[in-house]
Amino acid sequence: MMISKGDYMAESSGFGKVILFNEHFVVYNIPAIASAIGMKTVTSIEPADKLTLIDNRKETPGYKKEKMGQQKNSLKRIIHAAGIDNPNIKIIIEGDLIASSGIGASAASCVAIASALSDYFNLGFSDKKINEIAYEGEKGYHGTPSGIDNTAATYGGLVWFKKGKPNVIERLNIQSPVEIVIANTGIVADTSKVVAGVRERKEKNPGKYNKIFNDAEKLVYDARKALEVFDLKRVRALMNENHSLLQEIGVSCKELDFLVKLAKDNGAYGAKLTGGGAGGNMVALTPTKHLQEKVASAIEKEGFEVLRTTIG
């Protein structure tokens, strides 16, 4: 909270995220592992004559225009879920998290808005309540989201998540933070369409897809163990395998596959798409600053935007 020019203001934030294991599979009640990253979306609220939203985030070109209708729907859902009627406020979204596909930009904004509303209207929402409201906001973007993005954005850290009634959410602890590289394809993806495509293909070919989904479930339990004992070589193998499974269900694209190969060719421990796929971002495990810089520089030389950050 802040006071400015005599008017009451509230300011809150939500973390960006990467999904390390099992995006898409998580929709079908298979566990996934996500981590908050060091970039945030920050939302401030101040009095106004009418409800106004100003989005000052840096973006992948076209992202905000493409998502404008979804963003309006999301904001309407958040305000309704928070129990607020016709608020006369200005909501300003900014921060160092770029608005792009695959790094939880929509979830970070939903969490930041929900938290700022709680502060501004003195509602006293718990993290659990903010997470629930942000999930309602995520429906405006993704239709039937898993809930993993808003959970990572709310709680931070490394998160084990399994969709259910209720969702299973556990904080995972690792020995020390690990450097990663996130590379942006520059393609704005519609996650709801990608999720719907997986569902359609799964219904048409249940035998093939059931095997892939069983493999993904076994893999994520192995990944949890590997992270908890800090066996990064094992994590590397499992990340690479997870990307192959995501390719098999049709959610990668040639740009993501190119970035995955480029990262691995330059020494990344493991690499895979992260988020909805069909564009968006790739994440590479690059323990040590030296390796992180080597992989990031190689990707930048090919003309792609890169984030250097950590997980855990």
CATH number of domain containing 159 = 3.30.230.10
Specify the pTM.
Answer: 0.84
* Same domain as 54, residue 168: yes
Q: In sequence order, which residues have a C-beta less than 8 Å from that of residue 275 and are 6 or more positions away? A: 18, 19, 23, 101, 102, 103, 104, 189, 191, 281
17 and 156 in a single domain? The answer is yes
- Same domain for 127 and 167, yes or no, is yes
Instruction: Taking the CA atoms of 119, 122, 127 and 130 in sequence, report the sign of the dihedral they define.
Output: negative
Calpha distance 52→56 (Å, rounded):
13
pLDDT of amino acid 148: 86
Residue finishing a domain among 172, 188, 219: 172
Q: Is the peptide bond before 145 cis (omega within 30 degrees of 0)?
A: no
Does 248 lie in the same domain as 165? no
pLDDT band at 178 (very low <50, low <70, confident <90, very high): very high
Instruction: Please answer whether residues 184 and 280 qualify as being in contact, where contact means their C-beta atoms are separated by less than 8 angstroms.
Output: yes
**214 and 95 housed in the same domain:** no
CATH number at residue 295: 3.30.70.890
Domain ends where: 147, 172, 197? Answer: 172
Residue span of the structural domain in which 51 resides:
2-172
The pLDDT confidence band at residue 103, using thresholds 50, 70 and 90, is: confident
pLDDT in tens, 41-78: 999 999 999 999 999 999 888 889 988 999 999 999 99
Distances (CA, A) of 94 to 55, 71, 78, 130: 7, 14, 18, 19
Which range (84-93, 117-126, 189-198, 262-271) has the least confidence?
Answer: 189-198
Q: Is there a single domain that holds both residue 18 and residue 79?
A: yes
Using the structure block, give the residue that is written with the tokens 């690990």: 178
Residue 166, C-beta contacts closer than 8 angstroms, at least 6 positions apart: none
Residues carrying an active site annotation: 149
Residue ending a domain, among 120, 142, 172, is 172
Same domain, 103 and 167: yes
7 pLDDT above the threshold of 60: no
> How many residues are listed for the chain in this entry?
312
Same domain for 222 and 115: no
114 and 196 share a domain?
no
Distance (Å, whole) CA 156 – CA 82: 22
Judgement on whether residues 125 and 182 belong to the same structural domain of the protein: no
Structural domain count, the chain: 2
Looking at the structure, tell me whether residues 39 and 126 fall in a common domain.
Answer: yes
Residues 123 and 215 in one domain: no
